[in-house]
């Protein structure tokens, strides 16, 4: 860039700054939002994902998931982190439900780990310990007036189904 181009650019930038009105911090603050602005029955909630939240990788009859296996491949996750313990929701779900209740929300969306409930898909039975775990969560939510919203598939599947079918790449997976 030669000198006349630099001068023209500086002049245009200065002109632009002079033409724009000053912005104060008060103008940037949006008006407060009250719950009364929402229709009756509107759900205010929080959410979690079983792999990212539960931990207890091999407890209570849970099988390994595709993410359990993937996150243990050296270099697959840059930081080397995994969901083996995560937020330890499996052991601390009562505290978590208490925290959710303390926020004053009326909904909690969570995913059910396929590997905890049906460790082998259709090739094995329902895991009673997994079923009991999710029943306890749901019962505790309902007792506090919090509506449970369940996600049935949140990208983690039993590793056995990944090995058999290549996960959702196979149409056979819908029967797993």
In this prediction, residue 29 has a pLDDT band, given cuts at 50, 70 and 90, of confident
Least confident piece of the model among 22-26, 153-157, 168-172: 22-26
Provide the CB-side half-sphere exposure for 122 (13 A, CA): 7
Total domains in the chain come to: 1
Q: What is the dihedral of CA 98, 101, 106, 112, to 10 degrees?
A: -20
Condensed to tens digits (0 to 9), the pLDDT of residues 96-122 reads: 999 999 999 999 999 999 999 999 998
The domain in which residue 109 lies consists of 31-175
- Mean pLDDT, residues 143-172: 94
Are 54 and 116 in contact by the 8 Å Cβ rule? The answer is yes
16 in a structural domain:
no
Query: Model's pTM, two decimal places?
Result: 0.79
Distance CA 72, CA 116 (A): 19
170 in a structural domain:
yes
The pLDDT value given to residue 174: 86
The pLDDT value given to residue 17: 72
71 in a structural domain:
yes
pLDDT averaged over every residue in the chain: 91
94 in a structural domain:
yes
In this prediction, residue 159 has a pLDDT band, given cuts at 50, 70 and 90, of very high
Cβ atoms within 10 Å of 24's Cβ, excluding its own: 8
Phi/psi zone of residue 144: left (φ > 0), alpha (ψ -120 to 50 degrees), beta?
alpha
Nearest to 137 by CA among 85, 103, 102, 101: 101
Condensed to tens digits (0 to 9), the pLDDT of residues 71-82 reads: 999 999 999 999
Cβ atoms within 10 Å of 147's Cβ, excluding its own: 13
2 in a structural domain:
no
The pLDDT value given to residue 74: 96
The pLDDT value given to residue 30: 82
Distance CA 135, CA 94 (A): 12
6 in a structural domain:
no
23 in a structural domain:
no
39 in a structural domain:
yes
């Amino acid at each position: 860039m030669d000198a006349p181009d630099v001068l023209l650019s500086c002049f245009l930038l200065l002109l632009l700054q002079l033409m724009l009105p000053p912005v104060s911090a008060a103008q940037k603050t949006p008006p407060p939002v009250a719950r009364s602005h929402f229709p009756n029955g509107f759900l205010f909630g929080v959410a979690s994902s079983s792999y990212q939240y539960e931990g207890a990788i091999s407890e209570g009859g849970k099988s390994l998931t595709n993410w359990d296996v993937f996150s243990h491949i050296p270099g697959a996750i840059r930081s080397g982190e995994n969901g083996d313990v995560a937020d330890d929701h499996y052991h601390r779900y009562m505290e978590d439900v208490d925290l959710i209740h303390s926020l004053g929300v009326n909904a909690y969306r969570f995913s059910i780990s396929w590997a905890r409930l049906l460790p082998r898909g259709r090739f094995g039975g329902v895991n009673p310990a997994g079923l009991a775990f999710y029943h306890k969560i749901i019962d505790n939510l309902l007792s506090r007036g919090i509506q449970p919203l369940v996600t049935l598939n949140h990208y983690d599947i039993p590793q056995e189904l990944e090995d058999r079918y290549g996960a959702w790449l196979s149409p056979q997976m819908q029967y797993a």
